[in-house]
Every structure is written in C-alpha cells, then in structure tokens.
C-alpha cells in the first residue's frame, strides 16, 4: 500500500470517530469541515473543522490522527525541511488541535494551539527560554514520502501536566465497564 493511501485510510478512520464527537459538542450540531473543499482553500489554514459554540461564536480545530499511541505527540516543525517549508507548529492558525490515536479511540487530546506555541518557544510570564532543545527532533519515518517531515517528540504527560493538553474520554460510559 502506498503512503498516500495509508495516510488517507488513517485519516478516514479517525474522522469516523471525531466527527460525531464534534457534532455532539457543537451548538445545534453546527460543524463545518474545511478539508477537501476547494472553495474554502483560504480557510483551511485555520484548521480542518469549524464548530459553533453558540449562536455568535465558533472555534476552529486542526485534527491530528495517528495509528498508534507512543506516549508522545509529534509536533511538526518542518513539513519539508529540505525546502525550508515550516510545519504546522508555525502555520496552524486553528484555536485547538485535536489529537487522536486509532489504537485508543476513546482517548482524544485537546491542545490549545496558541498556548502550545508559547510553551515551546518560551513566551511566558516568567521569561523562560525556548523548550525546543528539551525534545528530540526526528524525521517522520512511518511513511515513505517525498517531503522530509521533521518534528519534536513531546511526551503527552509533559503537555497534560503543563495544562497545555487536556485528555478527553469520548465515551465516558465505557469507563464503567472497563
């Protein structure tokens, strides 16, 4: 199976899990997917999905879906390092990032995008320096692709303890039977 097909399959499976959750959270079920729509190309930099929170307010989400939970988030620094194309850490304009691992479909992580950037780059009240050097920068090697994508492996627990990422159980009723 080629890399594009593998990535598409992972994304399709993840969307089957995330879209019902987002629809349930949205005001009157108002969810607008931005992916795959040529008419909203400009909006796509704002994320993958817009949901209504109330009549006059909406929020944008960038969806990150991986097949396997490793204990880390892959925070993309370079979409194509050899061409100096910045990754989503720089280009993402979404309010939140939803991160899902398909082997743990009940568990989703909501990351406040702006807070993540501030935390990694050290833009905080205490004047702390950048955290970039605290994490391993790795080349994406899961898929054979033309782009050389690089990112940071950031432990999930680091971001949840820092209050940057929040764990969400999609189906809390499943917790009682577990």
Q: What is the pLDDT of residues 31-59, one digit of tens each?
A: 888 876 665 555 556 788 888 888 888 99
pLDDT at res. 10: 81
Q: What is the pLDDT of residues 58-115, one digit of tens each?
A: 999 999 999 999 999 999 999 888 898 899 999 888 999 999 999 999 999 999 999 9
pTM: 0.84
Q: How many Cβ atoms sit within 10 Å of the Cβ of residue 84? A: 8
Of the candidates 92, 91, 110, 90, the one whose C-alpha atom is nearest the C-alpha of residue 100 is: 110
CA distances from 112 to 23, 58, 59, 143, 152 (A): 19, 15, 11, 27, 17
pLDDT at res. 45: 66
Residues 145-172: what's their mean pLDDT? 89
pLDDT at res. 46: 77
**98 neighbors 61 (Cβ within 8 angstroms):** yes
Domain spanning 3-177, CATH class:
alpha beta
Backbone angles phi, psi at 66, to 5 degrees: -125, 155
CA dist 16 and 3 (Å) reads 20
pLDDT at res. 3: 60
Domain ranges of the chain: 3-177
Q: What is the four-CA torsion angle of 30, 66, 148, 155, rounded to 10 degrees?
A: 110
Q: What percent of the chain has pLDDT over 90?
A: 40
């Amino acid at each position: 199976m080629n890399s594009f097909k593998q990535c598409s399959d992972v994304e399709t499976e993840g969307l089957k899990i995330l879209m019902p959750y987002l629809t349930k959270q949205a005001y009157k079920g108002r969810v607008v997917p931005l992916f795959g729509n040529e008419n909203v190309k400009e909006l796509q930099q704002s994320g993958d999905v817009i949901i209504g929170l109330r009549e006059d307010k909406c929020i944008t989400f960038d969806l990150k879906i991986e097949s396997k939970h490793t204990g880390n988030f892959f925070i993309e620094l370079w979409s194509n390092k050899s061409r100096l194309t910045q990754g989503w850490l720089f280009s993402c304009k979404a309010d939140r990032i939803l991160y899902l691992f398909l082997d743990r479909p009940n568990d989703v992580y909501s990351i406040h995008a702006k807070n993540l950037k501030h935390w990694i780059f050290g833009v905080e009240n205490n004047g702390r320096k950048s955290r970039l050097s605290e994490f391993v920068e790795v080349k994406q090697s899961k898929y054979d692709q033309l782009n050389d994508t690089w990112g940071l492996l950031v432990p999930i627990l680091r971001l949840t303890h820092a209050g940057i990422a929040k764990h969400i159980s999609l189906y809390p009723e499943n917790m009682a039977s577990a």
